[in-house]
Amino acid sequence: MPAQLGWRRTCEEARCFQKTKSSRLPALYKTPSTSARAEGCKKNYRAAGRFPPGPKRPSGSKGRRAVDLAHENPDSCQSRRARIKPQDRVLGTRSERRTEVYIGIDVSKENLDVASDDGALEARFSNDELGHAQLAERLRGLSPALVVMEATGNFQLELSVALAAAKLPMAVVNPRQVRDFAKALGLLAKTDAIDARAIARFAATVKPEVQPLPDKEALELESLMTRRRQLVGMIASEKNRLQALFGPAKQGWAEKSIRDTLSHLIKQLSQLDKGLRKRIECSPIWKAKDDLLKSVPGVGNVTSMTLAIDLPELGELDRKQIAALVGLAPLNRDSGAHVGRRRIWGGRASVRTALYMACVASLRCNPVIQNLYRRLTTQLRKPVKVALVACMRKLLTILNAMVRDQKPWTPTLPPPLQET
């Protein structure tokens, strides 16, 4: 009897010890549930703390072999692996990584949509004096590294003057470049707000050079040259309308109206030319530049004024850069074994037009341009238009060097070609 009691006590102590041990250390393998036994499923001897198989995986810092540290079994093959936790990384904020702020402004007739590259500023201001003052005050508080806007006719001129008066760094860029940049980023939609954000990202990525605002005199001369081109275009249109009249209309009221308009436009053009010439002669700087350009045979008053006013970079760039700026640089179009024709594209059309007329005149009186044209057309058999474009580029290169060195026209002629 005592032996049986001792045996029972020993069994009870063993059961208590097993319960205590199981409470302290979890089981390494999970036993299948009752439902799984009833259904006859395979036994699941999956390690404790491991994720069930399947397509879903944890996306956090715990990986496939990660084990819950609170219930980790020291006898398991699982071990603590060295992992980089997000809180251990030194993650600086956007403002800590880069303190520069770039602003993009989308200019329209009525409104100004403004955005920053970091997304801290997105606002709309009216395109008037009050809106310009509010925008300048807002940007002055941000101290941007650069403010970029597109060239949209004359809508951005007053804003440029207001930002320059506030001493904010500013650049006016070609809208085609910004649009191509937005397409490269996948921004196919186009709204004013999207354009402002695209301009801001363009400014932060490309970082165009800060452009100083021309002085008041240069702006006034530029507006006068623009008006002169408009008058020349209207005179040409009225002459075409006069030639298009036929029959009784040639002696009617329409013919009289066109002639009156023509006479008025020609008078306006003559007065404008006199005003431009007087303004240039009153300024010593403009006068010296104008005399320097007109010393070249073939360059007259109109070409000289166009180059001086519409091309202020003349003399500051090298020959390749000035040719590309005007639109006279030959551009390659090669791909693989295909060698395409070189073409000119882009640039300032007003300067290119003036150079074309000066080149045509230089073929009669400028020996340097004459020899180049003859060599291209006679010896190299180049087309006439190709030879004319090459002569325009040569004339521009000569003018650029003269303004850069401040030296008048002193040609060094090559030996004349012998015609066969």
- Beta carbons within 8 Å of 201's beta carbon, 6+ residues apart: 104, 117, 181, 185
- Is residue 144's pLDDT more than 60? yes
The arithmetic mean of pLDDT across residues 99-103, rounded, is: 89
Judged on CB neighbours under 10 Å (0-12, 13-18, 19+), 74 is exposed
pLDDT at 156: 86
Q: Classify residue 72 by its DSSP letter.
A: -
pLDDT at 98: 59
pLDDT in tens, 353-405: 999 999 999 999 999 999 999 999 999 999 999 999 999 999 999 999 999 99
The arithmetic mean of pLDDT across residues 145-166, rounded, is: 88
pTM beyond 0.75: the answer is no
- Is residue 164's pLDDT more than 80? yes
| Between residues 65 and 126, the one the model is more confident about | 126
- Beta carbons within 8 Å of 359's beta carbon, 6+ residues apart: 298, 369, 388, 391, 392, 395
Main-chain dihedrals φ then ψ at residue 191, nearest 5 degrees = -135, 170
- Beta carbons within 8 Å of 266's beta carbon, 6+ residues apart: 235
- Is residue 18's pLDDT more than 60? no
pLDDT at 412: 65
pLDDT at 64: 47
pLDDT at 413: 52
The arithmetic mean of pLDDT across residues 141-160, rounded, is: 88
Measured between alpha carbons, how far is 130 from 114 in angstroms, rounded to an integer?
Answer: 15
Contact 320, 401 (CB under 8 A): no
Measured between alpha carbons, how far is 147 from 157 in angstroms, rounded to an integer?
Answer: 14
pLDDT at 345: 86
Q: How far is CA 312 from the centre of its chain?
A: 22
pLDDT in tens, 254-296: 999 999 999 999 999 999 999 999 999 998 989 999 999 999 9
The arithmetic mean of pLDDT across residues 138-142, rounded, is: 90
Q: What percent of the chain is predicted at pLDDT more than 70?
A: 75
Helix then strand count (H, E) for the chain reads: 15, 7
pLDDT at 374: 94
Measured between alpha carbons, how far is 235 from 258 in angstroms, rounded to an integer?
Answer: 10
Main-chain dihedrals φ then ψ at residue 90, nearest 5 degrees = -95, 95
Q: What percent of the chain is predicted at pLDDT more than 90?
A: 54
3-state SS assignment for residue 95: helix
Measured between alpha carbons, how far is 137 from 142 in angstroms, rounded to an integer?
Answer: 9
pLDDT at 93: 44
Which among 191, 194, 142, 193 has a CA at the least distance from the CA of 163? 142
Of 21-25, 43-47, 145-149, 338-342, give the range with the top mean pLDDT.
145-149
CB atoms within 10 A of CB 335: 8
Gyration radius of the chain over CA positions: 40
Q: How high does pLDDT run on average in the chain?
A: 81
| Between residues 12 and 282, the one the model is more confident about | 282
Per-residue confidence at 91, pLDDT binned at 50, 70, 90?
A: very low
CA angle 92, 182, 190 (to 5 degrees): 115
The span from the first CA to the last CA of the chain, in angstroms, equals 144
Which among 133, 167, 172 has a CA at the least distance from the CA of 156? 172
Per-residue confidence at 55, pLDDT binned at 50, 70, 90?
A: low
pLDDT in tens, 170-212: 999 999 999 999 999 998 999 999 999 999 999 999 999 998 8
Per-residue confidence at 321, pLDDT binned at 50, 70, 90?
A: very high
| Helix H or strand E encompassing 361 | helix 349-365
pLDDT at 84: 46
pLDDT in tens, 224-256: 999 999 999 999 999 999 999 887 878 888 999
